[in-house]
Amino acid sequence: MSQSRVGQILGRVPNTQFFGREAEIERLCRAGKGDLSADADRPAADRPAPSFLRRFRVDPATINLVLGPPRVGKTEILLKCFDRLFTERGHAVPVYHRIEQRETGVVVFAREFLATFLTAFTAFRRNDPNRLFELPGPLPTLVRGAAAEDSGWIRRLVDAFDLATQLGDPVAMLKCALSAPRVAAANTGLVPVVMIDDFHLVVPAANADERAGFFWGQEVLGSLASRSPRRLAAYGNANWVLCGLGRVLVEMLPADEELFGLIRLFEVRPLSDEAFEQTIGAMATARSLEVGESTTELIVQQLNRDLFYAGSLLDAAAAFGRPLKTFMQFERVYTEEVTQGRIARFLDAVLRDAAGDPARLRASLEAMHMVTEAGEAAPREAILECMTRYTTGAEGLLAELHLRELLNSDFEFVRPSVDPVLADYVRVRYRREVSGLPPSLVGDPLLGRRLRLAYSLMMSRHNRAVESKLVDVLSRFDFQSIPTASFLSVRDSNSGLNDAASSDGEDETRIRLPQIVCVSDFGSSDVRGVAWRLVSARGFDGPIYNEENEVDWLVTLIRSKEPLDMETLNRICERQETAGQRGSADRSARAVRWFISKEGFSAAAAEHLSSLGAYGSNYAQLDLLSDHLTNLGQEHRNRKPATEFELVIPTDDEAELIAVRTVEQIARSAAFDQGAINQIKTALIEACINAAEHGDSPDGKIYQRFQIDDDRLVIRVWNKGRVFDPEVEGPARRERKAGMEQRGRGLQIIRALMDDVRFERTDDGTSLVMTKLLRRPPSVVES
Amino acid sequence: MSVREIRSKLVGDAAIIYPGPYLNQFKGQRVEGRCQEFLGRGIRRVVINFEGTELINSIGVSILLGVIEAVNEMKGTLVLSNLSESNCDLFEILGLKSRLNIADTEENALAAIIRDSLAQGLELESLGPDVAAAIVD
């Protein structure tokens, strides 16, 4: 069921303004339902009556942890999920409970949770969503309001809770409240999907009584995780969705194998640029607010796709009837919001909540300002030293700021938050409250700063997109064979897209890409208007995962308006060397250098790259490579199941002739002509020689698989052990190749006779995969 | 398919060697040995007849190149004959075709050798009537 057809019950954002979260909602709904097979999506009338047997087939308890940074939209996903499940009227009964305040304590939590649960369950049973919005009365009133078929078990549950309350036993109250979903499931055959939002609030504030907070936080998790057969038999089953600040939730998980066995993680990431733009557009329309196209793009970049900030800004603009058609109009509203509007007040509250008292607040502000101004990693010791001037317990406070993602702290360094609005807020507040500078009479210096940055921010969007593409391309490197001339070679500034594309068929030089396992950012720099970013991609380019085959592709993405000249290239090379050394402590891997310049290279620079044994590409080639890798993957996925034959021969003298006889029959049955069959036979002979010559096969055998597809014969040859010295055309190994002329002759023959040749990594070696395409006569093709 | 021993014969002062169905390392070494044998006996004109040779592998090619080199060092002549289309392609792929003397038949190979040798005063009749006829043709 798509979200647009779901009624809005708890969801705060109208469905017409809600974009880009369909996949998350769908996944969470399915998980909430415990993946109850296709039945979950069928109308109630079509479903067989539930039975205990069926119920117990479901995993005994599922805890879905919804994690994500602050204000990424987790709550709205939960609410939309609630609306969907409620509207579906299926097997799953949605319950949404939000922990309002961290100081509530276990008793209040238990009571409020039970009230919320019973209210939501009754609302669902009566198909009356209005009940969700009624003020919760005392528990006995919930018994009276329950559906007739439920009043019995609800009464017993409430009585048990009252008894625990009278005994003054908070643990018994908590367990009683948390067992409500299981009791409901056991008595109704339905599966409650219990969503608890802001679950991180069960962890005590830094200034609260820690023992009490941790006690009931872990008690909740412990109760949910119970797999005791006795309890399951008594209470049935339920699915839980716990949502909150990722860092806090992860911190509170005990090292309990059983608990982790029940947990499923859902990472909620920020909306895509496109979805956020759509949302801004819809929100502006709903507020009758004019927002320019470029301004929308600026909002996306400047607010880091934060829906709370966007809503606040649009509300403020709408409230005063101020359109956001120009950068100036937007930045004015933004500055007011960050200095004295809703955003400022909200961030005041966040900081106050994290710090607790004025001294700790001052220390927090100092730390955040220090890392914000540094713009990069600041030594942790320096930050702590600064904080200690204002408060004791700086370590704990720094940890609290980290948990709330107000900054990022590790054992050595502290980095600023990725939230640019928070950075502006910190600057403004620091200037006002710490630096002692006189306040502005009109406006704020932030406006000037934002206007200065606006255009470069807009540019950075495009740059980030290219950088993302590069990282995506590198992470998809997986031993594919690609034509070098098309993607990794730019001879001069004019040999751009057209030349590169046309050379695919002419230049047969190919490179086997490595398999990349890790991509790291080594930072960015610029020289005379030419900016670049250095990325390291580490992986393996040989058949075995050992040090010898470890490779480090140092990739430099260069933005310049002209083809890169020799002088700038040299400067970049120097800085690249330094950054590479600084960026990685372990430089043992062989380095392969790849320069990607937006506008290509001058003839001299291209020549120089060649002499360095480095690859050079332009942005267009990067796009082409991305498409090429996608197509290769698509081709692989779309292939129909093939007819396969396997053959194992000894590495003995002339055993390859048996393979040749076999492939001859197979190729003939697949309608290859005699000329092609002869070529296949010759190639197979060479593959077998390679396997026999270069293998350390412990069993002395050569394995072969012949696979017939519609239009091709794919032959895979391997042995168990170190198999082939695969084709390595990279500049780093050209020298080695010179001494392998004789050995290389076999591969030369194979490549010439077959349509595609590649090496694939297997668990115990490498297999040579050769493909021969079936070229049918034209008449056959036409028919 | 593989016959362990290779055949050869003498036609006048030219040797003709038949590698058999599969020229691999083993057969290549046999061809090499037989050729060395002929060269040792002062026979410097050699034809290798590939009729019936279905497959040649890269090691066989490498050894063959060694044989050609040995004959050249002795100022002799070596011609390959009766190559199948696929074997001919193999030499083409490896860029060796221009370095080889290739004839389509054994007779034409001998004729090429004799044309090459006539200048050295070779007796035409000593080669037998078939070959003499091929040369006259």
State in Å, rounded, how far the first CA of chain B is from the last one.
Answer: 36
Mutate to test the interface with A, among B22, B57, B85, B97 (most CBs of A within 10 A): B57
Please judge whether A657 and B22 are an interchain contact, meaning their C-beta atoms are less than 8 angstroms apart.
yes
Q: Which residues of A315-337 are buried (b: 16+ CB within 10 A; e: fewer)?
A: bbbbeeebbbeebebbbbbbbbb
Q: Where are the alpha helices (DSSP H) in A531-591?
A: 566-583
* Neighbouring-strand partners of residue A758: A769
Q: Is B24 on the interface with A (CB under 8 A)?
A: yes
Q: How confident is the model at residue B130 (pLDDT cuts 50, 70, 90)?
A: low
DSSP secondary structure code for residue A438 in this structure: P
Q: What is the DSSP letter of A432?
A: I
d(CA A203, CA A403): 11
Nearest by CB to B55, which of A681, A742, A746?
A: A681
What was the ipTM of the complex prediction? 0.86
Helices then strands, counting H and E runs in chain B, come out as 5, 7
State how far the Cα of A132 lies from the Cα of B34, in Å rounded to an integer.
100
Contact assessment for residue A337 and residue A344, using Cβ atoms and an 8 Å cutoff: yes
Max Cα–Cα distance, chain A, nearest Å: 94
Chains A, B: CB pairs < 8 Å: 46
Partners of residue A682 in chain B, C-beta under 8 Å? 55-57, 86, 90
Which chain B residues in 107-126 lie under 8 Å from chain A, judged by CB atoms? none
Q: How far is A133 from A123, CA to CA, in rounded Å?
A: 10
- Coarse DSSP helix, strand, coil percentages of chain B, rounded to the nearest 5 percent: 50, 20, 30
| Cross-strand pairs, A104 | none
Given a contact cutoff of 8 angstroms between Cβ atoms, the answer to whether A729 and A512 are in contact is: yes
pLDDT in tens, A60-108: 557 888 998 888 999 999 999 999 999 998 889 999 999 886 556 778 8
Residue B8, classed as helix, strand or coil, is strand
Say if the Cβ atoms of A685 and B84 lie within 8 Å.
Answer: no
Contact A239, A192 (CB under 8 A): yes
Minimal CA separation from A771 to chain B, in Å: 18
Mutate to test the interface with A, among B93, B96, B97 (most CBs of A within 10 A): B93
Q: Return the beta strands (E) in A380-514 as ranges.
A: 407-409, 413-416, 481-483, 510-512
Inter-CA distances, A509 with A503, A506, A591, A759, B2, Å: 10, 9, 21, 15, 36
Work out the burial of residue A289: count CB atoms within 10 Å of its CB; fewer than 13 is exposed, 13-18 middle, 19 or more buried: buried
For residue A434, the 8-state DSSP code is: I
The distance of B86 to chain A (nearest Cα, Å) reads: 6
**Pair of tokens at residue A713:** 């014969």
Low-confidence spans in chain A with pLDDT less than 70: 1-6, 34-61, 101-104, 203-237, 490-508, 543-544, 579-587, 638-642, 694-698, 721-743, 763-765, 776-783
Query: Can you tell me the distance from the alpha carbon of A386 to that of A533, in angstroms, rounded to the nearest whole number?
Result: 32
Instruction: Report pLDDT digits (tens) over A236-291.
Output: 467 888 898 888 888 877 777 777 777 888 899 999 888 999 999 999 999 999 99
Residues in chain B with CB shorter than 8 Å from the CB of A678 are 84-86
To the nearest whole Å, the CA of B85 is away from the closest chain A CA by 8
Cα separation, A200 vs A205, in Å, equals 10
Cα–Cα distance between A744 and A730 in angstroms, integer? 15
Cβ contact B58–A660 (<8 Å): no
**Whether A216 contacts A40, CB under 8 Å:** no
CB atoms within 10 A of CB A269: 11
Q: Please tell me the distance from the alpha carbon of residue A88 to that of residue A126, in angstroms, as a whole number.
A: 14
A302: nearest Cα among A416, A415, A454: A454
Per DSSP, the three-state class of A616 is strand
pLDDT at position A677 is 92
pLDDT at position A723 is 45
B89: closest CA of chain A, how far (Å): 9
Token digits of residue A728? 């390595």
CA neighbor of B34 nearest in space, from B85, B71, B87: B71
Which residues of chain A are within 8 Å of residue B59 when distances are taken between CB atoms?
689
Alpha carbon separation from A641 to A157, A631, A707 (Å, rounded): 57, 19, 9
Check residue A575 and give left, alpha or beta (phi > 0: left; psi -120 to 50: alpha): alpha
Does B2 reach chain A within 8 Å, measured CB to CB? yes
Determine which helix (DSSP H) or strand (DSSP E) holds A665, and give its type and residue range.
Answer: helix A656-669
Cβ distance of B85 and A675 shorter than 8 Å: yes
Return the amino acid letter for A119. Answer: T
Six-digit token string for A626: 């991305």
Backbone torsions φ then ψ of A510, nearest 5 degrees = -125, 160
Q: A379-417: per-residue pLDDT in tens?
A: 999 999 999 999 999 999 999 999 999 999 999 999 999
**For chain A, what is the total number of helices (H) and then of strands (E)?**
32, 20
Are A84 and A93 contacting, i.e. CB atoms less than 8 angstroms apart? no
Of B55, B59, B62, the CB nearest to A682: B55
Phi, psi of B105 (to 5 degrees): -125, 170
Q: How far is B121 from chain A (nearest CA, A)?
A: 40
Answer for the pair A743, A687: CB distance below 8 angstroms, yes or no. no
Phi–psi pair at A271, nearest 5 degrees: -60, 155
Taking alpha carbons only, the member of A356, A425, A365 closest to residue A389 is A365
Q: State the residue for tokens 């198999």.
A: A723
- The rounded distance, in Å, linking the Cα atoms of B57 and B21 is 11
Chain B residues close to A677, C-beta within 8 Å: none
Distance in angstroms (rounded) separating the CA atoms of residues A64 and A240? 6
Percent over 90 (pLDDT), chain A: 33
Q: Which residue has the tokens 């082409």?
A: A624
CB A186 within 8 A of CB A234: yes
Instruction: Verify whether the Cβ–Cβ distance A746 to B58 is below 8 Å.
Output: yes
Kindly state whether A741 is in contact with chain B, defined as any CB-CB distance less than 8 angstroms.
Answer: no
Nearest CA in chain B to A660: B55
Which pLDDT value is given to residue A3? 53
d(CA A536, CA A576): 11
- d(CA B133, CA B137) in angstroms, rounded, equals 6
Regarding predicted confidence, which is higher, B33 or A444? B33
Residues of A in contact with B50 (CB under 8 A): none
- Judged by CB atoms closer than 8 Å, whether chains meet at A748 and B57 is answered as no
In angstroms, the Cα distances linking A244 to A66, A456, A671 are: 7, 34, 62
Q: Is A141 exposed, middle or buried (0-12, 13-18, 19+ CB in 10 A)?
A: middle
CA A457, A461, A465: angle at the middle one, nearest 5?
Answer: 155
Cβ proximity of A553 and A514 under 8 Å: yes
Q: Do A657 and B61 touch (CB under 8 A)?
A: no
